[in-house]
Amino acid sequence: MERGWQGFSGGLPPVPRATRMVLALFVAASLVNVLASQWLQLGRLSDWLELMPSDVLHGQVWRLVTYPIVAVDPLGLLFGAMLLVFVGGALESRWGSRRFVVRTLLLAALPALLTTLLSLVLTGLQGRPYIGLGPLSMGYITAFACMLRNERITLFPIPLVLSGDQLLWFEGGLLLLWMLFAGTTAPFVPEVLAFGVGLAWFRFGWVERLRRLFLRGGRGGGGSGGGGRAESRLEQLARRRRLRLVRPDEGDDPQDPPSRLLH
């Protein structure tokens, strides 16, 4: 099956509500930043929003999630808006609005937090500001490619068709090419970490495994019945509606009392 970012052959796709909110915030913050600094001489909004590891270490933790919402040049604004429309909209359509918002915050915050922690070792990173949608873009594209690993994806506006797995290689190769031509890795640390977080989360499932371990530990390892296994959502639904969950390895027991079956 061949897709654009969401299967659209022309025109703009419908943009879900949460994606519209993120897009509006991104465009508004970018325009306010340039108007305040270049035209009104009021200073840069980005000075208070950018990721500066030293400032985060001194308690300005909001920078972990605010740095992606400002574009510093017209191309960054244009391509950032396009990415939100096509990739962000596709992800929200699959995840739902609430999960999209939560995951967007995590995809921004985790690379920023790892960059800040890394700066404790590589102290040269502490005074380097990071701003723009780059790390969040890496997370979005990685998530999208992992969801469509074996499908054909048309890269809009590039006339190139790749599978999801090939898109991951393309994304990683492009990032490596940027670092090669820049002659340094320091400006790209959040993007590299965002790519790694995306792979760990959506390709290898490490984040989901950690979440399940945390939930299992929080329930004392026994769920509601103390039998050593957390109760799944399907089992919770069956219990609430007084249904009997039939597993594939269960046989019919004539001694069981009559019950409604949930297949």
CATH of the domain at 144: 1.20.1540.10
Q: What is the pLDDT of residue 222?
A: 47
Per-residue pLDDT in tens (0 to 9) along the chain, 263 residues: 444 444 444 556 789 999 999 999 999 999 999 999 999 988 899 999 999 999 999 999 999 999 999 999 999 999 999 999 999 999 999 999 999 999 999 999 999 999 999 999 999 999 999 999 999 999 999 999 999 888 888 776 667 788 899 999 999 999 999 999 999 999 999 999 999 999 999 999 887 788 778 777 655 544 444 444 455 666 666 666 666 555 554 444 444 444 444 44
In a 3-state reduction of DSSP, which class is residue 153? strand
On whether the CB atoms of residues 178 and 172 are closer than 8 A, the answer is: no
Check if the beta carbon of residue 76 is closer than 8 Å to that of residue 133.
yes
Give the separation between CA 225 and CA 29, rounded to whole angstroms.
50
**Cβ contacts of 20-25, under 8 Å, gap ≥ 24:** 22/84, 22/88, 22/104, 23/81, 23/84, 23/85, 23/88, 25/69
> How, if at all, do strands 160-163 and 152-155 pair?
antiparallel
Based on the fold, state whether residues 73 and 159 are members of the same structural domain: yes
Which pLDDT belongs to residue 142?
96
SS3 for 247? coil
Same domain, 83 and 188: yes
In the DSSP assignment, the letter for residue 231 is: P
In a domain, 227, yes or no: no
Closest CA to 138 of 186, 93, 95, 191: 191
* 120 and 179 assigned to the same domain: yes
Residues 39 and 92 in one domain: yes
Same domain, 154 and 256: no
Do 132 and 250 sit in the same domain of this protein?
no
* Continuous segment of H or E residues that includes residue 118: helix 97-118
Number of independent structural domains in the chain: 2
The reported pLDDT for the residue numbered 250 is 47
The pLDDT value given to residue 41: 84
* Residue 252 pLDDT: 47
Domain range for residue 244? 232-262
